Amino acid sequence: MERIKGSVIAGVALIVTVGALSFPVWSYSDRSGTAQANMSAGMVDTQWGPLAASDRDLIERVRLAGLWELPAAEMAMKKSSSKAVKEAADHLITGHTDLDQRVRTVATKMGIELPDEPNAQQKGWLQQMQAAQGEEFDRTWANLLRSAHGKIFPAIGTVRNNTQNMMVRQLASDTNQTVLDHITMLEKTGEVDFDAIANGTI
């Protein structure tokens, strides 16, 4: 009798142990927060290499950047009397005209649908610029653009380092150079409030 009871207890303990060991496997395998899930999320095979969700996100963000930064640059050419601001605006026009052509080519080949207008936040930034005049316009313009460039810059580097898609890697490299150039020119305007940007108030 004692032998049977011991066997039952041992069997129950074995079942509980196996269940406990199995729990992390089924409970975490499909969580989007895991590194493996993030790497494989939305992965699509293409002739240029696997296209990840993060790759598509960058492609869309590059397109969105051009949709609001080109109008912002053209606005500066009309409204600003600052030589430095106009020089920065000229760099934005040149850079985003080129990037927009590149990103549309990549999207067409990858079968990715791109936005055709700025998002709500970007429209709000353009409205702030439009409402400002004189030196206030220069400060608003430079700070909003510098903040936006600073936020996307780390994402570009991450995609460039991690993507397995040849075309996306080239686009990320081109975008990295363009954004760095724009940040440099915006800082030369002397209008950038680095403390406000660092504190997240812009």
pLDDT value at 38 more than 60: no
- The boundaries of the domain holding residue 24 are 2-30
Question: How far apart (Å, rounded) are the C-alpha atoms in residues 30 and 170?
Answer: 31
Is residue 36 one of the residues assigned to a domain? no
Its pTM stands at 0.76
Mean pLDDT computed over 135-160: 94
Shared-domain flag, residues 18 and 70: no
pLDDT band at 10 (very low <50, low <70, confident <90, very high): very low
Shared-domain flag, residues 51 and 26: no
Number of structural domains found in the chain: 2
Q: Quick one: CA dihedral 102, 105, 109, 112, positive or negative? A: positive
